[in-house]
Amino acid sequence: MLYLVRVFGVLFLGCSSVFAEMASIDDAALSEVTGQSGVYLTGEISINEEGGPLNDDYFGSCIDVTKVCGARIALQTQQDGGWFVLDNIQGSIAFEGLTFQLRAINSGFGGDGLLFNRDVIEIGLPETLKFDEFQYTVATSNSERPAGAASTFKQVDFMTVEIGGEVTLEGNLLVFPTP
């Protein structure tokens, strides 16, 4: 036991010199600092894997066909027009290595880069997307469907997409700012 106390004592004394105080840097010293910009993201997005909130009249388990299951995104494509719908969105998507950074475009693109000569946002696609029981339905509707929709609501489903497994991606997406 005395041996362990001595070991922890030596480790504590050795580690105490590691703690440093924050200090400000003047402009001259800061101008010498170099680095890289960018963000590297890894994550998983899970949408309604187990169904909606239970014990409710409208939402419920995805097994119960009388209940609504999955998330819904509805976009009105024209004023006073119909709706484009992604419905019954559920499952999960995992990714590693999605990057965001600034990139200077001052050459290439058939000579257009030289004329552009500005920064763009570069979105680096992750190498692999992993889908686990991911699905959605592509549809149109005559109105945005509120909870307890009226009988005048009509939705036409075009197709349901179900994805499982891995998708390999390559390349970058460049987002050009407009003047």
Rounded Cα gap, residues 114 and 153, in angstroms: 53
Q: What angle do CA 71, 75, 80 make, to 5 degrees?
A: 140
pLDDT in tens, 82-130: 888 888 888 899 998 888 888 888 888 777 778 888 888 999 988 889 9
Is 103 exposed, middle or buried, given 0-12, 13-18 or 19+ CB atoms closer than 10 A?
middle
Pairing of strands 118-124, 83-105: antiparallel
Per the structure block, which two tokens stand in for 80? 């006073």
Q: Which residues contact 49 (CB under 8 A, 6 or more apart)?
A: 90, 91, 92, 133
pLDDT above 70 as % of the chain: 69
- pTM: predicted TM-score of the whole model, two decimal places: 0.56
Q: Indicate the pLDDT class of residue 177, thresholds 50, 70 and 90.
A: confident
Please provide the average confidence, as pLDDT, over all residues in the chain.
76
pLDDT in tens, 149-170: 555 677 888 899 999 999 988 8
Q: Which of 89, 123, 126 is nearest to 103 (CA)?
A: 123
Section 69-78 average pLDDT? 80
Beta carbons within 8 Å of 88's beta carbon, 6+ residues apart: 69, 70, 71, 72, 135, 136, 137, 160
Mean pLDDT for 62-71 is 67
What distance in Å separates the CA atoms of residue 14 and residue 5, rounded to the nearest whole number?
14
User: What's the distance, CA 35 to chain centroid?
Assistant: 25
Parse the chain into domains and list their residue ranges: 46-175
Q: For the chain, state the CA radius of gyration.
A: 27
Nearest-angstrom CA–CA distance, 49 and 90 = 6
